Amino acid sequence: MSLATLPGDPDAVAAAGSGYEHIAEAIARSVARLREVTDGSGRGHTVTALAERAEGVADKLGRAKPRYSTTGSALRTYAVALREAQRSAAGAASEQSSRQGSLNTHRYRLENLIDERQTAIMAGDAQHADELRDRIAYETHRVNELDGEVREAEQAYHRAVEYRDAAARTAIEAISPVLEDLKDTFGSVFHAWVDSLPGFLQQIGRWVEAILVPLITAIQEAIATIVSRIGYLITFVSLLVQVLQHLPPEMWLVLLAGVGLILFGGVVGVVLGSLIIGVLGAVVLLLTQSLAADLNQPTPVMTPVNKTPVSRESAEGRGDRYAQVMSDDNDLDELGGADMTVVEVIEVLDENGNRIGWRVILPSTQDWQEAGPIVGNDPTGDKGAMNDWGSNLALMLTPEQQAAYERAVIQAMQKAGVGPDDPVMLCGFSQGGILAGKMAADPNSPFNIQAVFAAGASIDGMKIPDDVAVLSLQHTGDVVPMLDGPLSNSSHRGDNWYTYYEDPPVATDQPHNALLYGDTARKLDGLGDPLVREIMEEQDMFFSQNERSTLYSGAEPR
């Protein structure tokens, strides 16, 4: 399979973006000059009319400025991502072509050796057959090795494509609202046409406008409402199917128990069974409704909190490093709260300032929305943070979808300069850990995720590839890690995955706590299991004494 060059001209896109920004600057200057005309006093009727007209033109120009400034900024940001995606895709295509050529050569040799050995066996030449067996073993090993390298190159190529597409979606989401705000309505177009009519025709036009415009506007709004509701219904049904597919087996067992009570439990069984099925059905429908609302949210723009990266360094001890991650995560939660999402993107450098990789820290659930009573809060509407109840549900029940929280993280990483080939470690507590696992398990991820550190997160059932080093902490009594099925998805352990299941470091009725997980992390150095040491050694590359940190924040519109 030949991999095509990614189309597009980053230089032209960047130039177009700069052009739009220059237009925005020119508009700003023109608006300022027009405003000066309106600032005079003691003027005659002619000057006053001119000032009023200048004010009107200034208002129209002022409303047009965001169209150009936002579009220009979005295009320039996309141009950077497009250039990086093309560079990565070209490298992957070259690697794939080279490895595929070598693979074809060794497959040809292997086929010939197999045929030659079969001939030797039939001729009774055992010595030659034995010699050929060793050569066949070597060629088989090379074929398998090269086949894996071809697949890796193809994965890198598809990762670059997804990286480009994610950047394009971000640009589209930034540009669309400003264009929509400036779209001319039927009423404004008709009004402008009436204004152009002379004398008595304008009076007639005003009369027609008063009757026709409200009627047409009402019809347009009705059609838009119908189309919107049909779209919502399609989305709802699609999400409901996905929710049912991803429900933990334990919930299906409860549902079957309800059916059994109705069939065989007599009158009492019918009542109890109907209650169980009704409650589960209502819960599923409410969850699906919440998911539909969250997935339809546009991705807010993530902006850097600190204009220049802040220098920092990781702790020396391995356990202390993970404890520091939990402390950083707790700081993000406090900084963003329920009003906004704050993500930390850390560039990990060597002693010479060369980039080694990236460490990304993801906050936990802060905006609980209607589920507030679960954690002792009042039920509220959406306060603004994307790390909210709806995104939680999307991560667990519809992993095929990207909730606003995940889209915002991808946007922040791309803005920080994380490329499709750069090694990445994702870290998070609770929902942050769930998102880390989900992104690592996503075969269409735009990033090269090589490591995950999660604490108090339900990731045991996620299909994270074996080449990703996973370290997971779970406290006894913490229910969050069990949300994907306490029986069907118990604490996971694999060749490259270590789950440390431990009592909280202090007696508490609140084991789900980032700082307590930080204290637990300090015990990792003392564990004798060689697997945990191997995984921490793999993750060592994502910590250094030379790091640069940038915080990105964003919030959903209220």
DSSP letter for each residue of 167-181 = HHHHHHHHHHHHHHH
Distance of CA 172 to the CA centre of its chain: 16
Q: Give yes or no for residue 48 having a pLDDT over 90.
A: no
Report the phi/psi class of residue 116: left, alpha or beta, with left for phi > 0 and alpha for psi in -120 to 50: alpha
Beta pairing, strands 448-455 & 303-304: unpaired
Residue 53: pLDDT band (50, 70, 90) is low
The rounded Cα 117 to chain-centroid distance in angstroms is 53
* CA atoms of 340 and 387, how far apart (whole Å): 8
pLDDT at 154 over 50: yes
Distances from the Cα of 302 to the Cα of 44, 344, 366, 392, 498, angstroms? 50, 11, 17, 19, 33
Whole-number Cα distances in Å, 116 to 119, 120, 124, 130, 404: 5, 6, 12, 11, 60
pLDDT digits (tens, 9 = 90+) for 90-146: 999 999 899 999 999 999 999 999 998 899 889 888 888 888 888 999 999 999 999
* Interatomic CA distance for residues 463 and 8, integer angstroms: 34
Q: Among 80-89, 240-249, 255-264, 430-439, which is the least confidently predicted range?
A: 240-249
The answer to which of 94-108, 147-161, 380-394, 493-507 has the lowest mean pLDDT is 380-394
Residue 455: how many CB atoms within 10 A of its CB? 32
CA 556, chain centre distance (Å): 15
307 vs 154, more confident: 154
Name 71's Cβ contacts closer than 8 Å, sequence gap at least 6. 17, 20, 175, 178, 179
Residue listed under structure tokens 């979005």: 74
pLDDT given for residue 516 in this prediction: 96
pLDDT at 270 over 50: yes
Q: pTM of the prediction?
A: 0.76
| pLDDT exceeds cutoff 80 at 410 | yes
pLDDT at 213: 73
pLDDT of residue 394: 74
Type of residue at 4: A
Q: Residue 42: its pLDDT value, please?
A: 47
Q: Average pLDDT, stretch 490-504?
A: 85
Asked whether residue 346 carries a pLDDT value surpassing 70, the answer given is yes
Which pLDDT score is estimated for 328?
Answer: 96
* pLDDT of amino acid 438: 93
Facing residues of 348 across strands? 357, 547
Confidence of residue 187 (pLDDT cuts 50, 70, 90): low
- Domains of the chain in start order, with CATH, are 1-196 (1.20.1270), 297-554 (no CATH)
The mean predicted confidence, pLDDT, of the chain is 83
Q: Residue 35 has what pLDDT?
A: 63
| Terminal Cα distance for the chain, rounded | 48
SS3 459: coil
Give the model's pLDDT for residue 543: 96
Structure confidence by residue, pLDDT tens digits, 372-408: 556 555 555 567 888 887 777 777 777 777 888 999 9
Highest mean pLDDT among 161-170, 344-353, 402-411: 344-353
Higher pLDDT among residues 457 and 33, named by residue:
457
- Of the listed ranges 187-191, 269-273, 326-330, the least confidently predicted one is 187-191
